[in-house]
Structure 1
Amino acid sequence: MMKLFYRQRRFMKGDKAGEPLTTGWLPPLPDMRDYSNEHPVISEISMKLGIKGSDKTKTEKKLPSRVDLRKWCSPVEDQLSLGSCTANAVVGMVEYFQKRAYGRHIEGSRLFVYKATRKLMLSTGDSGAWLRSAMGALVLFGVPDEKYFPYTFDGENVNPDWDIEPDAFLYSLANHYSAINYFCHDPLGKKTSKKDVLRNVKTYLAAGIPSAFGFFGFPSFENSDAPGSIPYPCKNEQAEWGHAVMAVGYDDNKVIINTSSDEKTKGAIMIRNSWGSTWGQDGYGWIPYDYVLDGLAEDFWSILSMEWIDTEQFGLLR
C-alpha cells in the first residue's frame, strides 16, 4: 500500500499543461534508534554551531526573521519520471555543504543513491523510499560522481539502466561519508512537540544547516497566489501523495493564500524541489509553517560533519 502512495500526479509545470511530476517519499515507520539533536554526538557538533541541544541548557536565541541558503545550493535538478525525490534531496544537501565549505561541489549521482537506498530497503523497482534509508545509504555507500552513473542517457530521459545494480568499481569510486552523522528533528516516539520541531528546523537553518523532509500533497496543491507557494489544504481535502524536498530557508512574514478557500497562512519554509527550474521560482518554493505544526510536513533530517563545520562557514553568528 505504501508503494502506491507516492505515484506520479499531473500538474502544471511551467507553461506545459499535464506534464507528469513524480514524487517518491514514503512516510516513516517508527525506529527508536533514530538520533535526535539531543544525542551526545549531535549535541557536541551542534554546540560548535552555537546551538545548545540539551533541554537543560537550551537557550531561546532570537532567530532572524528570514534565512535564505539558496546561493550555496547546486543547480536544481529534475527527477523526471522516477520516484527519487529522497535521493535528490539528500544529494542536494551534500552538494550544498561542499559548495559552502569549499566553494565548489562534485555533482553526485542521484541515481546511485536511489539504487543504494532501495538496496537497504530490500526493494527493487521504482518503489519510492524512506528518507531514513536514503541517509543510511549516503553514509554506508557514499556518492560517486554523476558522470559514472548518470541520471539520464541523453540529457533528457531517465537512464534505462536505472534499476540495475551498479558495478563494484562504482562503490569503490564513491566518496565515502562515514564521518557524517545524520539525525531526525522529529523522531517518532520521542514526543517532540510540533512547535519545537519547527523551531529546531529554523534554528539549524539559521546556522546554515538545511534539512530534507517529506510533506503530503492535496488536490489544491497548485491553487495558490504565487508559483511554488504551496497552500494549506482545504477542509474537505484528502492527501493523495507524499513528496520529499530540501529546506533551504524560511520567512516568518511569508503569506500564502489558497485561492480555492481564500485561507491565508503566515510564515513559511523555503524549499528546493526536484522538478526542474521551471517549477515554482526557478525550482524553489514555499510551504507554510502550519504544515509542520499540523503534521502535514514531517520526517525532517539533517546531516552534520566536523570536516565541514571546521571550515567555520557555519554557525548561528554567520
Structure 2
Amino acid sequence: LNWRPSPLEDKLGVPKFALKAEFDSTALPSSKDLSEYDSPVKNQLSLGSCTAFAAIAIVEHIAKRKGLPSDWSELYLYYNTRVRVLMWPPNEDSGAYVSSTMVSLQKYGDARESDWPYVPARIGAAPPAAAYTRGAINQIIKTAYVPNTVDSIRAAIASGRPVDIGFSCYSNFTNDAAIYRSGQIPMPTVSSYNTGGHSVSIVGYDDATRKFKFKNSWSTTFGEGGYGFMPYALLDDI
C-alpha cells in the first residue's frame, strides 16, 4: 500500500482524455470488460510497488492486444521511477506517484521480465545495462490524464483503454479477511481509517452494480482470480 497521490503540477500539461461524441456518457454501453486482453495476474509480494504493477498491467494489456511480448519488468520500472525520476534513495521502498511512473515509462521505457526479474531483495540494485538497452527501444510515446469522474473512466474503458488509478484503502477493506478475499471494496464507514494508498488497473465497469472491475497485484487469491470491484462512489474519496 504505497501509492501516493500525484502532485497537481505533475498533471499540468498532460493531455486529458476527451469524451468524444461517440463516447458521450449517455451513449456508452451499460457494461464493458477488457480483461480478456490482460496478462496473468501477478503478486507484488513484500514491496510497495503497486504503481509499477498497475502501469505494467496496462503495458502488457496493450502489448497482448497487438500480438507483442507481454511479460515486462515491474522491478525495472519501480527502480527507475523512484531513483531516476524522483531522485529518491534506492534502498527505500517508498512507493511512487502514478504520474512519475508514466514519466519513467516515457524516459526509460521498460525491460522484459527476463532482463530484470521481480526479486524484492533487489529493490536497491540498479538494473543491468542490457535492461536499459531494451528499455530504450520500448518507451511509451504518449500518456493521457483521465479526469477523476465516473463518466470519463467509463468512456475510456468503453473505447478500449484500461485506466491506471490510485485510491485510498480503508480498514474495513484491508483488515477484514472475508471482504479482502471477496475482492469487493466497500465504502469507508465512520469508524474505518485510512490504511494506505494502492494503485490498480481498471479494466471494466457495470452500470447495473455501479462498480468498476480492476486487475490487482496481490496474486490470484485476491477477489475473483486476482480481480476486484470498487463502487463508482469511491471515486469521490480519491
TM-score, with normalisation over the residues of structure 2? 0.89
1:274 aligns with 2:230: no
Q: Which deviations, in whole Å up to 9, do the C-alpha atoms of 1:3-58 show, x marking residues without a partner?
A: xxxxxxxxxxxxxxxxxxxx2201121115241426xxxx6xxxxxxx528xxx98
Report the structure, 1 or 2, having the larger strand content.
1
Whole-Å Cα distance in 1 between the matches of residues 23 and 224 of structure 2? 36
1:179 CA drift (Å): 5.4
Q: Which runs of no fewer than 5 residues in structure 2 stay unpaired?
A: none
Task: Give the match for residue 47 of structure 1.
Answer: none
The answer to whether the Cα contact below 8 Å between 1:25 and 1:86 also exists between their aligned partners in 2 is yes
**In structure 2, the residue corresponding to 1:240 is in which secondary structure?**
strand
The answer to whether the Cα contact below 8 Å between 2:181 and 2:221 also exists between their aligned partners in 1 is no
Higher relative contact order (CA 8 A, sep 6+): 2
Task: Give the match for residue 80 of structure 2.
Answer: 116
**In structure 1, the residue corresponding to 2:150 is in which secondary structure?**
helix
Whole-Å Cα distance in 2 between the matches of residues 212 and 225 of structure 1? 21
Task: Give the match for residue 106 of structure 1.
Answer: 70
1:26 aligns with 2:4: yes
Task: Give the match for residue 210 of structure 1.
Answer: 162
1:168 aligns with 2:129: yes
**In structure 2, the residue corresponding to 1:181 is in which secondary structure?**
coil
Task: Give the match for residue 68 of structure 1.
Answer: 33
Report the structure, 1 or 2, having the larger helix content.
2
Whole-Å Cα distance in 2 between the matches of residues 24 and 173 of structure 1? 27
Superposition map of 1:275-294 within 5 A: 275-292=218-235, 294=236
Q: Which deviations, in whole Å up to 9, do the C-alpha atoms of 1:67-109 show, x marking residues without a partner?
A: 111110000010000010000011110100011122x533101
Alpha-carbon spacing, 1:34–1:272, altered in 2? closer, same or farther (3 Å): farther
How many residues are paired up? Answer: 231
1:238 CA drift (Å): 2.5
Whole-Å Cα distance in 2 between the matches of residues 70 and 60 of structure 1? 21
The runs of at least 4 aligned residues of structure 1 exceeding 6 Å deviation read none
Aligned partner of 1:180 among 141, 144, 147: 141
Larger radius of gyration: 1
Whole-Å Cα distance in 2 between the matches of residues 214 and 106 of structure 1? 23
Task: Give the match for residue 52 of structure 1.
Answer: 20
Q: Which runs of no fewer than 5 residues in structure 1 stay unpaired?
A: 1-22, 44-50, 153-157, 187-193, 255-266, 298-318
The answer to whether the Cα contact below 8 Å between 2:39 and 2:70 also exists between their aligned partners in 1 is no
The answer to whether the Cα contact below 8 Å between 1:151 and 1:162 also exists between their aligned partners in 2 is no
1:162 CA drift (Å): 2.4
Task: Give the match for residue 80 of structure 1.
Answer: 45
TM-score, with normalisation over the residues of structure 1? 0.68
**In structure 1, the residue corresponding to 2:201 is in which secondary structure?**
strand
Task: Give the match for residue 145 of structure 1.
Answer: 112
Whole-Å Cα distance in 1 between the matches of residues 180 and 73 of structure 2? 35
1:62 CA drift (Å): 1.1
1:176 CA drift (Å): 3.4
